[in-house]
A and B are shown apart, each in its own frame.
Chain A
Amino acid sequence: DTEVTQTPKHLVMGMTNKKSLKCEQHMGHRAMYWYKQKAKKPPELMFVYSYEKLSINESVPSRFSPECPNSSLLNLHLHALQPEDSALYLCASSQDPHRSPSYGYTFGSGTRLTVV
């Protein structure tokens, strides 16, 4: 298995809803990431988990809450979002570059989120 799987692919939610995005990988990668991407822009880093511990939080508003229950799974819990939070949310994973000669980041196909 060489994929990062994200569900759902599309999500429409109201500003008072609570929803979660899910990301899963079975490549043994020990770092996992959430990125937010607006149309025709590069991805912006939100959170990094390294060995299941949150290592980077890019000053993301608390209405986004990440969770890493185990080394294969990454969730992003959403609550009280704003319309400007509408975007493509990408999950990625990577190996430790010092342990893998074929180092690279593997991205999922994203969740297209619309906040109404």
Chain B
Amino acid sequence: AQTVTQSQPEMSVQEAETVTLSCTYDTSESDYYLFWYKQPPSRQMILVIRQEAYKQQNATENRFSVNFQKAAKSFSLKISDSQLGDAAMYFCAYRSAIETSGSRLTFGEGTQLTVNP
């Protein structure tokens, strides 16, 4: 079974600064998907960024980028130019690529990010 570990229960960052959230995972599979989701107090889980394991290039979405180290099974999220609206719980998640549809997401325990003005 796959596991996802987020070792930082809480992080804080000053507005406009950069912060990196850590995520490691354990799997015996070679093909899979990794995600970062954001959950603000409004409750909705919002997809921040996605990485396919077969792609060596790190994914980037505006101020969000990942450092994907497949051999180390590490998938960290970097938030640049942090904004107050980035404050939320961030979940790292894993999904096997073997199943074609209706597969489970395995979540880490989450990192609560605070952005200080």
Contact = CB atoms under 8 A, between A and B. Distances in A.
**Which 9 A-B pairs give the minimum distances between C-beta atoms?**
A50-B102, A42-B107, A31-B102, A107-B45, A109-B44, A96-B101, A48-B102, A55-B102, A50-B101
A84 B16 CA distance: 41
B100 interface: yes
Interface stretch (B21-29, B62-70, B74-82, B108-116): B108-116
A90 interface: yes
B13 interface: no
Interface of B is mostly: loop
Interface of B: 33, 35, 37, 42-47, 50, 89, 91, 95, 97, 100-105, 107-110, 112
Most A CB within 10 A of own CB, among B44, B47, B95, B102: B102
A46 B80 CA distance: 35
A45 B91 contact: no
B100 A104 contact: no
Contacts of B37: 107
B102 A105 contact: no
A104 B50 CA distance: 8
Given A45-B105, A49-B102, A97 B33 contact: yes
Contacts of B105: 43, 45, 105
Contacts of A96: 100-101
B107 A104 contact: no
A50 B101 CA distance: 6
A42 B101 contact: no
